[in-house]
């Protein structure tokens, strides 16, 4: 009976240890799943990229995000699978050791009141229970992994659709901006051509004004020359008039000398009167020409000033 109690105590201790190991494995798997979910949520956070400048950058960002997510998911799945396999291998080895230990204990208690068949039944029951628990843990882990992969796939599909939609929207916005810039470019080109034509027209007007200015300056020079000639002629006529006046006075003083001298004086007077009338007429005509030339010069100066103001 003491041997049977020892075997029962050893079996209970081994069973308790196996249960603790099973609970520890389940807790490790749950913690690994939580760590994976937390890491996935960190990876799946919304990307903050405020400097997307073109459609290609959005597409490359989506491809990079997809490849990074797949790599991280595969790494985590491989790591979790490897850890589970290592734990299962260790548990199987430990279970084999426990079975071997129990078999050794059974060999020691062959002669006791408990038969070997009962010990083998107990060991088989314990082994089947542990195997059942292990299979249950494996099924639970596989179910969790499938659910996790489905959630990851759903989240990835949603994220990929959002990134694709955002890239399409940015592409349409960029196309609208390109069209707007093309319109602005065409407007600026048309305005530049209009400015160029305006500059050409103003250049032609300036050349015409310069030619007119040169013609006016030539006319002014000609008028000045004519004015100088008229002034010299007026001076010569005045000199001749003074000479005739002196001659008339001399003839007047000698009028009493001879009739012939008187006739000459009368002739000189008549000549002087004719010359004076002719000179008055010519002086009036020259004064009119001088006034007209001065007005022309003033008008040309005003036109030249106006053209300089327009060209400046």
CATH of the domain at 232: 1.10.287
pLDDT of residue 46: 44
pTM, two decimal places: 0.29
Q: Does 213 share its domain with 164?
A: no
Is 55 in contact with 174 (CB distance < 8 Å)?
Answer: yes
pLDDT, tens digit only, all 312 positions of the chain: 334 444 444 544 555 565 555 555 555 555 554 554 454 454 444 444 444 444 455 556 666 766 776 777 777 777 777 777 787 788 778 877 887 887 777 667 655 555 556 767 777 888 788 888 888 888 887 888 888 888 878 888 888 788 888 888 888 888 888 888 889 888 898 888 888 888 888 888 888 888 888 888 888 888 788 888 878 888 888 888 888 888 877 766 765 666 776 677 678 778 778 877 887 888 788 888 888 878 888 888 888 787 777 776
Is 75 in contact with 40 (CB distance < 8 Å)?
Answer: no
Q: Does 250 share its domain with 165?
A: no
Q: What is the DSSP string of the chain?
A: -HHHHHHHHHHHHHHHHHHHHHHHHHHHHHHHHHHHHHHHHHHTSPP------SHHHHHHHHHHHHHHHHHHHHHHHHHHHHHHHHHHHHHHHHHHHHHHHHHHHHHHTTTSSS-HHHHHHHHHHHHHHHHHHHHHHHHHHHHHHHHHHHHHHHHHHHHHHHHHHHHHHHHHHHHHHHHHHHHHHHHHHHHHHHHHHHHHHHHHHHHHHHHHHHHHHHHHHHHHHHHHHHHHHHHHHHHHHHHHHHHHHHHHHTTTT-HHHHHHHHHHHHHHHHHHHHHHHHHHHHHHHHHHHHHHHHHHHHHHHHHHHHH-
Q: Does 90 share its domain with 130?
A: yes
Q: Does 226 share its domain with 101?
A: no
15 domain residue, yes or no:
yes
Q: Does 11 share its domain with 75?
A: yes
Model confidence pLDDT, tens digit, residues 26-70 = 555 555 545 544 544 544 444 444 444 444 555 566 667 667 767
How many domains is the chain partitioned into structurally? 2
Q: What's the domain range around 268?
A: 194-311
136 domain residue, yes or no:
yes
pLDDT of residue 16: 56
Q: Does 126 share its domain with 32?
A: yes
Model confidence pLDDT, tens digit, residues 195-230 = 888 888 888 888 888 888 888 888 888 878 888 887
Q: Does 67 share its domain with 161?
A: yes
Contacts 24+ apart (CB under 8 A), 106-112: 106/7, 109/3, 109/4, 109/6, 109/7, 112/3, 112/4, 112/7
Is 120 in contact with 106 (CB distance < 8 Å)?
Answer: yes
Nearest Cα neighbor of 113 from 1, 10, 212 is 1
216 domain residue, yes or no:
yes
């Amino acid at each position: 009976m003491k041997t049977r109690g020892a075997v029962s105590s050893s079996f209970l201790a081994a069973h308790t240890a196996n249960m603790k190991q099973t609970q520890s494995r389940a807790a490790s798997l749950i913690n690994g799943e939580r760590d994976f979910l937390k890491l996935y949520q960190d990876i799946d956070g919304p990307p903050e990229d405020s400097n997307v400048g073109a459609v290609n950058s959005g597409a490359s960002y989506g491809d990079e995000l997809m490849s990074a997510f797949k790599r991280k998911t595969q790494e985590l799945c491989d790591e979790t699978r490897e850890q589970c396999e290592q734990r299962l291998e260790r548990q199987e080895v430990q279970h084999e050791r426990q079975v071997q230990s129990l078999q050794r204990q059974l060999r020691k208690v062959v002669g006791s009141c408990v038969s070997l068949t009962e010990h083998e039944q107990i060991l088989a029951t314990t082994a089947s229970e542990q195997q059942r628990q292990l299979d249950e843990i494996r099924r639970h882990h596989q179910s969790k992994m499938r659910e996790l992969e489905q959630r990851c796939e759903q989240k990835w599909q949603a994220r990929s659709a959002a990134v694709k939609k955002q890239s399409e929207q940015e592409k349409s916005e960029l196309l609208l901006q390109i069209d707007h810039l093309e319109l602005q470019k065409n407007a600026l080109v048309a305005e530049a051509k209009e400015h160029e034509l305006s500059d050409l027209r103003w250049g032609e007007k300036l050349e015409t004004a310069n030619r007119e200015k040169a013609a006016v300056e030539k006319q002014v020079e000609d008028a000045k020359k004519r004015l100088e000639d008229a002034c010299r002629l007026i001076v010569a006529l005045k000199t001749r008039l003074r000479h005739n006046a002196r001659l008339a006075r001399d003839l007047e003083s000698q009028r009493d000398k001879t009739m012939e001298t008187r006739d000459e004086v009368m002739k000189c007077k008549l000549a002087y009167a004719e010359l004076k009338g002719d000179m008055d007429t010519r002086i009036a005509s020259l004064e009119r020409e001088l006034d007209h030339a001065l007005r022309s010069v003033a008008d040309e100066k005003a036109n030249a000033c106006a053209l300089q103001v327009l060209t400046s």
